Amino acid sequence: MEQKKWAALKIETDALNPNDGGEIIRIVIIDNSGLIWNEYYKPEKLKEWPDTEQYNGISPEMLEDKEQITQKTKIRFEKCLSKYDFIVCSNINFIKLFLDDLGITYPKLKSTNGEFERMLTYKNIEYNKSITLENCAEFFGITTENIPEKYKSVSGCYKIWACHKSLDESFSILELLTNDEQNQYDYRCFKGDTEILEYLKRIKVAMIWEQRVPTLYYDGRFLPKETFNVFIIGLILDDNNLVDKIVCLIDNFIIGIKENEFINMQKRYKLTKQA
């Protein structure tokens, strides 16, 4: 699976809605290479914003010597965003309001809050706190104290980037499974070998445990081919509720494969979905 290019985006505004005169007063972008964008802007409409100032800490005085967002800024911003396959943010609806107000085009938006909630659901994790960026960061141990010094001044955007990174590492296979618009994948989560074995007994299918599946010969019947038909039936979770193995039905055999091996195999053997 080709690695997609993405970035974390955080904006600060002087009001919650462009219809109320709100404008972007700060843009921060972080990608896997580091801090890409960190600029403040002087708004054209509002002269003060006490309510949002309490939240973002940006006062009118801080923006006195800053430039307004010009058409040139919009073109540069749009060009920067166009480099990515998708943009990660905390609140999609909020970001869309202000990006649309700028009149620019931008890639697909993904929400850390939505990804976090989806991960909790699929991994059957009981979570009694609200779904927020701060709580997602806390879940993955990302705190203000352990943010690298060079990102301290852009901590909000860094948390978005770090949360998505953590979610991507523990949850990337679910993205592969659920990204199918026709929803052809059907799967479930298993907690450990015992649960998967019980399931396989019920459906009367023999299981092979082998990480390097393409090199495995099983009674002379399971042979490497250029293309396999693959039906993913589940995920085996480890003690930390992270994906340990992908459980696949390949040529009528059940196989548990480590995630990285599955992705490598998919690229090498052009795996196709089984309807």
pLDDT at 217: 35
Please give the Cα distance from 251 to 83 (Å, whole number).
39
Window from 100-114, 200-214, 229-243 with minimum mean pLDDT: 200-214
Percent of the chain residues topping a pLDDT of 70: 59
Average pLDDT over residues 14-22: 95
Domain ranges of the chain: 1-179, 188-273
Q: How does pLDDT run across 134-169, given as a tens digit for each residue?
A: 999 998 889 988 999 999 999 999 999 999 988 876
Q: How does pLDDT run across 63-107, given as a tens digit for each residue?
A: 999 999 999 999 999 999 999 999 999 999 999 999 999 999 999
Amino acid making up residue 46 = L
Average pLDDT over residues 49-53: 95
Please give the Cα distance from 28 to 9 (Å, whole number).
6
Q: How does pLDDT run across 124-141, given as a tens digit for each residue?
A: 678 889 999 999 999 888
Average pLDDT over residues 245-268: 58
Amino acid making up residue 134 = E
Please give the Cα distance from 63 to 60 (Å, whole number).
5
pLDDT over 50 (residue 222): no
* pLDDT band (50, 70, 90) for residue 16: very high
pTM of the model: 0.66
From 216, 197, 217, select the one nearest 207 (Cα to Cα): 197
pLDDT over 80 (residue 270): no
CATH class of 1-179: alpha beta
pLDDT at 264: 56
* pLDDT band (50, 70, 90) for residue 117: confident
